[in-house]
């Protein structure tokens, strides 16, 4: 999987049409930053939308000018890869509320002329679908050949299939869940408390205050990161390996796993410069995701109008969104006699497995995308 | 698309009403389901545990759900009587409890079609009685220690189980592995048939 798309450049779509949000708030205008790879064919029927995960963004494959690190799903998107950019037109947009270019809490509020901060309205998966639908129209795509996403992105895919049933032919839902469990929400809440109780948070106005709640954000990321890994994999990778050659009996870092988590957390908060308010918003969007809630808490009913064909994928060691959660999704789709395939991929990498190379995963992904490509070609 | 079909699969296709809903347990690479889709316009799903076979089935455009027939997958995914035919070819003998699986198949499916290698075939009998060794044949090409076939049975055994479980045999047939059906196989199926095909359903319970 060495083929790369090469250098890619983000674009921005500015939308003046106000966006009515699920929360009741109105976003008067907004920007969506997105990247595209490959060519939209003459019939405009080979377009694939990628939905990103909590800390992801629109830079899904290829390289930005002058960068050495490719997009976050470069292993699976590119010429000859499962999502084959020689055949498909790939679109990925940055979600509203993010800190990577689309309008979010670090943007200027046009009503006040000040940075939004925590005044940025709470956004949900449905709001993201509605904003991406505007991008779809802008790009001249009547119907997506497929919408693909992992983790939070997988939830967004389901929301698309529920809200806009005739706007996609295939839905690929990877390492997702039909809603968060109490434990999932609890982890998110601890992460939010870590951020909001950081003295540098300044009630979300840290940019104006010239501070950065990096301690809180680091803790939040350490906690999140922990839930992405499996116990087995941490055992294999770190075990009880020490940082130094002997125990110091102090509160300094003793074990390698402590050092690794601190490094990951600090990198996220400083080098990657993730916005603390965005972290709060994204975890909230996850908590609120529950498409069955509007249908008497019956997930099968939620998919009653859905037309898309589905591929659902889970990973054996993922305990954040375990295979059992994906099987709930499959069951609800089967209840509606929808076309669905399901793969449970053997992996020791926990939730993170959806981003990593794995021959079974790649085989399934490639085979299913082959079907997507064949069907698009025969339309 | 040309598909090389065994007579077993052709017979199964003859037993299926067009446009019905089908579940194929242990669907392998999806050859049978693909054939039924093409020739019988069925809708349906394959269930298969093996990752490579899942990939092959998916390449044929089959809906395949990776599942373990020894677990509770069948009941998890499907309601009673929600499927017209639950098919299982050459897999009954590899599951941990064929009797329970058969019961489940007939709870979810209105009818079931089952095929299995006949352990009563004369070659098996001859190898065991004359050579005193566990049989190894073209239908069962394994050693006793590495065979996945842990619950082999004969036609008679299977029909006894059906009787005991109040299961009605709607149709039955036999084929050999040379893709033939002979008069002898019709007369002495348990001796000359290598592969058994059964179409069964539950008897109405109010007769009990």
Tell me the DSSP string of B33-45.
Answer: HHHHHHHH--EEE
Asked if B26 and B199 count as a contact pair (C-beta separation under 8 A), the reply is: no
Which of B61, B62, B77 comes nearest A334 by C-beta? B77
Tens of pLDDT, residue by residue over A226-254, are 999 999 999 999 999 999 999 999 999 99
Question: Measured between CB atoms, does A368 come within 8 Å of chain B?
Answer: yes
Tens of pLDDT, residue by residue over A293-302, are 999 999 999 9
Catalytic residue list contains A337? no
Tell me which chain B residues have a C-beta less than 8 angstroms from the C-beta of A360.
Answer: 51, 55
Which of A339, A344, A360 comes nearest B63 by C-beta? A339
The pLDDT, as a whole number, for residue B108 is: 96
How far does A36 lie from chain B, in Å, by closest CA? 27
Mean pLDDT throughout A175-198? 98
Catalytic residue list contains A318? yes
| ipTM surpasses cut 0.85 | yes
Catalytic member of A131, A170, A351, A352: A351
Asked if A91 and A50 count as a contact pair (C-beta separation under 8 A), the reply is: yes
Cβ contact (<8 Å) for A334 and B54? no
Tell me which chain A residues have a C-beta less than 8 angstroms from the C-beta of B43.
Answer: 337
Rg of the Cα atoms in chain A? 21
Which of A169, A314, A342 to mutate to test binding with chain B, by most B CBs within 10 Å of its CB?
A342
Contacts of A299 (CB under 8 A, 6+ apart): A178, A291, A292, A328, A329, A331, A332
Catalytic member of A4, A93, A131, A151: A151
* Choice between A210 and B4, residue whose per-residue pLDDT is larger: A210
Asked if A309 and A169 count as a contact pair (C-beta separation under 8 A), the reply is: yes
Q: Give the whole-angstrom CA distance, residue B73 versus residue B68.
A: 6
Q: Give the whole-angstrom CA distance, residue B152 versus residue B119.
A: 6
Q: Is the dihedral of CA A275, A13, A289, B47 positive or negative?
A: negative
The pLDDT, as a whole number, for residue B2 is: 40
Cβ contact (<8 Å) for A360 and B51? yes
Per the structure block, which two tokens stand in for A113? 């002329």
User: Around Cβ A231, how many Cβ atoms within 10 Å?
Assistant: 11
The pLDDT, as a whole number, for residue B178 is: 64
Q: Residue B207 above 60 pLDDT?
A: no
Q: Give the whole-angstrom CA distance, residue B65 versus residue B49.
A: 8
The pLDDT, as a whole number, for residue B12 is: 94
Asked if B9 and B74 count as a contact pair (C-beta separation under 8 A), the reply is: no
Asked if B24 and B47 count as a contact pair (C-beta separation under 8 A), the reply is: yes
How far does B39 lie from chain A, in Å, by closest CA? 19
Q: Give the whole-angstrom CA distance, residue A364 versus residue A174.
A: 12
User: What is the CA angle A233-A235-A239, rounded to 5?
Assistant: 145
B121 three-class SS: coil
Find residues 84-103 of chain B whose CB sits inside 8 Å of chain A.
Answer: none
Tell me which chain A residues have a C-beta less than 8 angstroms from the C-beta of B76.
Answer: 327, 331
Per the structure block, which two tokens stand in for B104? 């489940």
How far does A286 lie from chain B, in Å, by closest CA? 26
Question: Measured between CB atoms, does A243 come within 8 Å of chain B?
Answer: no
Cβ contact (<8 Å) for A360 and B43? no
Q: Supply φ then ψ for residue B167, to 5 degrees.
A: -105, 130
Return the residue of B nearest to A342 by Cα: B65
The pLDDT, as a whole number, for residue A4 is: 87
How far does B34 lie from chain A, in Å, by closest CA? 14
Tell me the DSSP string of A105-131.
Answer: TTSB-TTTSSB-GGGSPP--HHHHHHH
Tell me which chain B residues have a C-beta less than 8 angstroms from the C-beta of A345.
Answer: 51
Mean pLDDT throughout B48-60? 97
| Nearest partner of B159 among B181, B184, B191, B190, judged by Cα | B190
Which of B59, B61, B63 comes nearest A340 by C-beta? B63
Question: Measured between CB atoms, does A377 come within 8 Å of chain B?
Answer: no
Asked if A16 and A32 count as a contact pair (C-beta separation under 8 A), the reply is: no
Tens of pLDDT, residue by residue over A24-67, are 999 999 999 999 999 999 999 999 999 999 999 999 999 999 99
Q: Give the whole-angstrom CA distance, residue A373 versus residue B5.
A: 27
Cβ contact (<8 Å) for B61 and A337? no
Asked if B46 and B63 count as a contact pair (C-beta separation under 8 A), the reply is: yes
Tens of pLDDT, residue by residue over A207-225, are 999 999 999 999 999 999 9
Contacts of A214 (CB under 8 A, 6+ apart): A198, A200, A266, A269, A270
How far does A358 lie from chain B, in Å, by closest CA? 12
The pLDDT, as a whole number, for residue B204 is: 82
Lookup result for tokens 């598909």: B3
Contacts of B202 (CB under 8 A, 6+ apart): B106, B107, B166, B167, B168
Q: Residue B4 above 80 pLDDT?
A: no
How far does A60 lie from chain B, in Å, by closest CA? 25
Per the structure block, which two tokens stand in for A41? 């064919």
The pLDDT, as a whole number, for residue B208 is: 43
Q: Give the whole-angstrom CA distance, residue B44 versus residue B186.
A: 32
Average pLDDT score, chain A: 96
Tell me which chain B residues have a C-beta less than 8 angstroms from the C-beta of A374.
Answer: 61
Question: Measured between CB atoms, does B45 come within 8 Å of chain A?
Answer: yes
Tell me which chain A residues have a C-beta less than 8 angstroms from the C-beta of B59.
Answer: 367, 370-371
Catalytic residue list contains A151? yes
Cβ contact (<8 Å) for B64 and A341? yes
Give a three-class secondary structure readout of A134-191: HHHHHCCCCCECEEEEECHHHHHHHHHHHHCHHHECEEEEECCCCCCCHHHHHHHHHH
Question: Measured between CB atoms, does A330 come within 8 Å of chain B?
Answer: yes
Which of A331, A341, A360 comes nearest B76 by C-beta? A331
């Amino acid at each position: 999987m060495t083929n790369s798309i090469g250098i890619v450049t983000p674009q921005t779509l500015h939308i003046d049409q106000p966006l009515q949000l699920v929360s009741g708030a109105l976003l008067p205008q907004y920007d969506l930053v997105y990247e595209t790879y490959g060519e939209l064919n003459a019939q405009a029927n080979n377009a694939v939308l990628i939905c990103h995960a909590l800390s992801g963004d629109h830079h899904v494959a290829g390289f930005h000018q002058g960068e050495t690190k490719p997009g976050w799903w470069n292993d699976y998107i590119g010429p000859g890869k499962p999502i084959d950019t020689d055949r498909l037109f790939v679109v990925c947009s940055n979600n509203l509320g993010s800190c990577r270019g689309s309008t979010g809490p670090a943007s200027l509020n046009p009503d006040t002329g000040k940075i939004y901060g925590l005044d940025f309205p709470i956004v949900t998966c449905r709001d993201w679908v509605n904003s991406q639908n505007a991008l779809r129209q802008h790009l001249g795509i009547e119907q997506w050949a497929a919408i693909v996403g992992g983790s939070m992105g997988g939830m967004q895919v389901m929301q698309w299939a529920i809200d806009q049933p005739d706007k996609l032919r295939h839905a690929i839902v990877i390492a997702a869940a039909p809603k968060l469990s109490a434990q999932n929400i609890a982890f998110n809440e601890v992460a939010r408390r870590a951020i909001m109780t950081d003295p540098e948070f300044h009630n979300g106005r840290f940019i104006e205050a010239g501070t950065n709640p990096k301690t809180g954000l680091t803790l939040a990321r350490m906690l999140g990161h922990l839930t992405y890994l499996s116990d087995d994999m941490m055992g294999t990778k770190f075990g009880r390996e020490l940082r130094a050659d002997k125990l110091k009996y102090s509160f300094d870092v003793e074990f390698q796993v402590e050092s690794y988590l601190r490094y990951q957390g600090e990198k996220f908060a400083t080098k990657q410069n993730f916005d603390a308010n965005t972290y709060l918003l994204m975890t909230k969007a996850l908590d609120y995701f529950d498409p069955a809630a509007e249908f008497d808490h019956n997930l099968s009913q939620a998919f009653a109008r859905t037309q898309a064909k589905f591929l659902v994928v889970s990973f054996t060691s993922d305990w954040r969104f375990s295979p059992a959660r994906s099987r709930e999704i499959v069951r609800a789709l089967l209840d509606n006699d929808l076309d669905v395939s399901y793969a449970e991929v053997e992996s020791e990498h926990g939730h993170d497995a959806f981003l990593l190379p794995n021959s079974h995963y790649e085989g399934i992904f490639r085979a299913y995308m082959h079907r997507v490509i064949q069907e698009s070609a025969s339309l | 698309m040309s598909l090389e079909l065994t007579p077993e699969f052709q017979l199964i296709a003859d037993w299926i009403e067009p446009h019905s809903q089908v579940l194929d347990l242990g669907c392998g690479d999806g050859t049978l389901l693909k054939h039924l889709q093409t020739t019988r316009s069925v809708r349906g799903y394959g269930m298969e545990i093996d990752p490579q076979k899942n990939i092959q089935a998916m390449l044929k455009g089959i809906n395949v759900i990776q599942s373990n027939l020894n677990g509770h997958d069948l009941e998890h995914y499907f309601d009673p009587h929600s499927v017209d035919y639950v098919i299982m070819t050459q897999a009954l003998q590899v599951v941990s409890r064929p009797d329970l699986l058969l019961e489940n198949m007939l709870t979810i499916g209105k009818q079931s079609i089952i095929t299995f290698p006949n352990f009563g075939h004369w070659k098996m009998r001859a190898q065991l009685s004359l050579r005193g060794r566990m049989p190894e044949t073209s239908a069962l090409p394994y050693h006793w220690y590495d065979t996945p076939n842990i619950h082999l049975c004969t036609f008679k055994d299977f029909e006894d189980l059906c009787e005991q479980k109040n299961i009605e045999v709607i149709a039955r047939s036999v084929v050999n592995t040379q893709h033939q059906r002979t008069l002898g196989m019709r007369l002495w199926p348990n001796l000359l048939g290598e592969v058994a095909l059964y179409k069964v359903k539950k008897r109405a319970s109010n007769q009990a």
